[in-house]
Structure 1
Amino acid sequence: MKFSEGIQKAIPFGYLFLIILGIFKEGVMFYQLGVNILKYSTITDILISPIVDLASFPVILILLIVLIAFSYYFPAYLSKKSDKEWVKRLAGLKGKGELDNERLANHFTNLFVKFMALTLFSFFVGIGLGKGLGLSRRIKEDVLEYKTTLNFSSGEAEQVYLINSNSLYYFYLKKGNKNIKIAPIGAIKSVELPTSKEFK
């Protein structure tokens, strides 16, 4: 099966969709922490934000690949079963006359592109909401572990809880202070991450 018109139309909007996903995910998360993340981010930071989450959780990446494959091949399967009543009901084509296989495949593909977009949007907004709620709760309960060390260019060093970072800033919390601190990348000489349990 060749790429249908629905897929071809969706590809140019891929970057725009990633930006929208990043804006909502990051915005929802940092809003709960009292930070307007858009003031501290570039378009590139927002664009790669969903990709970073996918790379951080291999299971999520595998599920996304399965979802994309499903959204690509299932419409082809449905178009071959277009004479079945359940397929017509699923597509909302009952009473609309017969469609040729190509138009029918395009119709099903458009349906599943919309389904996939809605699923991804809900998924990433859910990630942002979950991360923000979880972090704000742990800040209030003061149960964070301050295992990351930031070595500043001035020679000072601080034990912190590193919330996030992008191409411009580090976002972190210092022990004993519930206010989020934002340090420009240029102010940090190095970052010492906690040792993985595998190396202990």
Structure 2
Amino acid sequence: MDYKLIEKLQTLLPLGYLYLIILGILRDGVFFYMLGINFIKFSSITDVLMSPIADLTRYPILLIAVVAINYALFLYNRFHVRSSHKNWVRSSIVYKKFWIKNGNATEQDFKNHIKNQFLNSLLVMIASFFLGGGIGFGITARDRIENNNMTFNHKITYDPGKSAEAYMIDSNSVYYFFVEKGQKNISISSTGSIEKVELINNRMLR
């Protein structure tokens, strides 16, 4: 058993999750900023800690695409590591600067540089997924509200006999963010004040 690898994973996993939490906060901050809402005021510590998992499972197709791209990048990186002794790798635009700055570097130094390049690319890719999603979906939600082009897939019941169809923007453990049919103002209601939320137009069951 490789105990050094286990120790390394024990160190990296918490740091990786912390990175995802920070990105989740930035993603939600950007998304709600597009709608004029300071989401920190409406979030609990649980929402912050669970935001990476919520964001990664919110859009499965995008998640699969990002995982596939990163896996392809990993294979490409591994191929370069195994071919690090070949001239076409050393003289490539990506790695040529390394040898100019580090003329006395060893083969292992070069392999470590390639691995670090992969790690940096991975971090940038994940950050782009979170922040790009926040900006893109925030703009989409804002435009739908402004242009009254919303799809009312939910029915919210406040009290027995009082309900309304709604365009659900988002929700967390404390609040629902939605626009009622016939309105343009964003409503923010605590989960305790809402009796029931129905998904009335479920595209997966059509």
Fold equivalence (TM over 0.5): yes
Matched, 1:32 2:34: yes
Q: For residues 136 and 198 of structure 1, do their structure 2 counterparts lie closer, same or farther at Cα, with a shift above 3 Å needed?
A: closer
Which of 117, 124, 130 matches 1:118? 124
Q: Using the alignment, how far apart are the partners of 1:115 and 1:10 within structure 2?
A: 17
Which moved further from structure 2: 18-27 or 39-48?
39-48
The equivalent of 2:18 in structure 1 is 16
Alpha-carbon distance, 1:10 to partner: 4.3
For residues 77-127 of structure 1, the C-alpha deviation after alignment (integer angstroms, 9 at most, x for no partner) is 2222222334234233214224243x4433222211111111111222111
Q: For residues 165 and 107 of structure 1, do their structure 2 counterparts lie closer, same or farther at Cα, with a shift above 3 Å needed?
A: same
Mark the runs of 5 or more structure 1 residues left unpaired by the alignment. Answer: none
| Contact 2:81 2:115 survives alignment (8 Å) | no
Q: For residues 75 and 12 of structure 1, do their structure 2 counterparts lie closer, same or farther at Cα, with a shift above 3 Å needed?
A: farther
Q: For residues 43 and 154 of structure 1, do their structure 2 counterparts lie closer, same or farther at Cα, with a shift above 3 Å needed?
A: same
| Percent of pairs with identical residues | 36
Residues 86-125 of structure 1: matches in 2 within 5 Å?
A: 86-88=88-90, 89=92, 90-91=94-95, 92-95=97-100, 96=102, 97-101=104-108, 103-125=109-131
The equivalent of 2:191 in structure 1 is 185
Residues 65-84 of structure 1: matches in 2 within 5 Å?
A: 65-84=67-86
Which of 146, 164, 180 matches 1:158? 164
| Contact 2:156 2:198 survives alignment (8 Å) | yes
Task: Specify the SS of the correspondent of 2:84.
Answer: coil
| Contact 1:151 1:157 survives alignment (8 Å) | yes
Normalised TM-score (structure 1): 0.83
The equivalent of 1:85 in structure 2 is 87
Which moved further from structure 2: 66-75 or 23-32?
66-75
Report the residue type matching 2:26 in the other structure: F
Mark the runs of 5 or more structure 2 residues left unpaired by the alignment. Answer: none
Q: For residues 19 and 161 of structure 1, do their structure 2 counterparts lie closer, same or farther at Cα, with a shift above 3 Å needed?
A: same
| Contact 1:150 1:159 survives alignment (8 Å) | yes
Report the residue type matching 1:121 in the other structure: A
Q: Using the alignment, how far apart are the partners of 1:33 and 1:162 within structure 2?
A: 13
Q: Using the alignment, how far apart are the partners of 1:48 and 1:184 within structure 2?
A: 19
Alpha-carbon distance, 1:133 to partner: 1.0
Q: Using the alignment, how far apart are the partners of 2:144 and 2:127 within structure 1?
A: 26
| Contact 2:176 2:189 survives alignment (8 Å) | yes
Q: For residues 186 and 34 of structure 1, do their structure 2 counterparts lie closer, same or farther at Cα, with a shift above 3 Å needed?
A: same
Give the paired residue count. Answer: 199
The equivalent of 1:46 in structure 2 is 48
For residues 27-78 of structure 1, the C-alpha deviation after alignment (integer angstroms, 9 at most, x for no partner) is 1111011100111112432343343343243332222322443454443322
Which moved further from structure 2: 150-159 or 125-134?
150-159
The equivalent of 1:147 in structure 2 is 153
